[in-house]
């Protein structure tokens, strides 16, 4: 059961890591693509840390990718473990596994979206 709890925690960590990739790197690219450069300038004026963080976008992306891979391996490993035979614990175990997979898939989607807008879309312009 502790391995399932660990996989849920890693799911949340991967969600945070992929969201940080979205905020630091994809958000400016999306605003510029949509022609909202003035909005981006206003956001940078309010949060000047975005410029500092965006300088390290490659490291943030690599770190998020490593966390996603690590979380995916542990979530898969936890899903292969048997659940308890007690009906209440079994239901909780299955629900936790499902929640972990949903969080992980959401994290992968956010990471892919952020990576596309950070690295692929600017080369097409």
Question: Can you give the pLDDT at residue 2?
Answer: 57
CA 121 to chain centre: 19
pLDDT in tens, 32-79: 777 777 777 787 788 777 777 778 888 888 888 888 898 888 888 888
- Residue 67's domain comprises 2-124
Cβ–Cβ < 8 Å for 57, 96: no
pTM above 0.85, yes or no: no
Cβ–Cβ < 8 Å for 53, 60: yes
Number of domains comprising the chain: 1
Share of the chain above pLDDT 90, in %: 0
Question: Can you give the pLDDT at residue 125?
Answer: 67
């Amino acid at each position: 059961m502790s391995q399932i709890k660990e996989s849920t925690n890693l799911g949340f960590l991967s969600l945070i890591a992929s969201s940080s990739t979205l905020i630091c790197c994809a958000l400016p690219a999306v605003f510029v693509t949509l022609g909202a450069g003035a909005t981006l300038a206003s956001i940078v004026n309010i949060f000047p840390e975005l410029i500092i963080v965006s300088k390290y976008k490659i490291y943030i992306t690599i770190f998020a990718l490593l966390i996603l891979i690590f979380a995916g391996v542990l979530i898969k490993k936890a899903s292969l473990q048997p659940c308890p035979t007690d009906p209440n614990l079994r239901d909780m175990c299955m629900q936790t596994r499902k929640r972990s997979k949903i969080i992980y898939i959401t994290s992968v989607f956010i990471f892919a979206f952020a990576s596309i807008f950070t690295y692929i879309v600017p080369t097409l312009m």
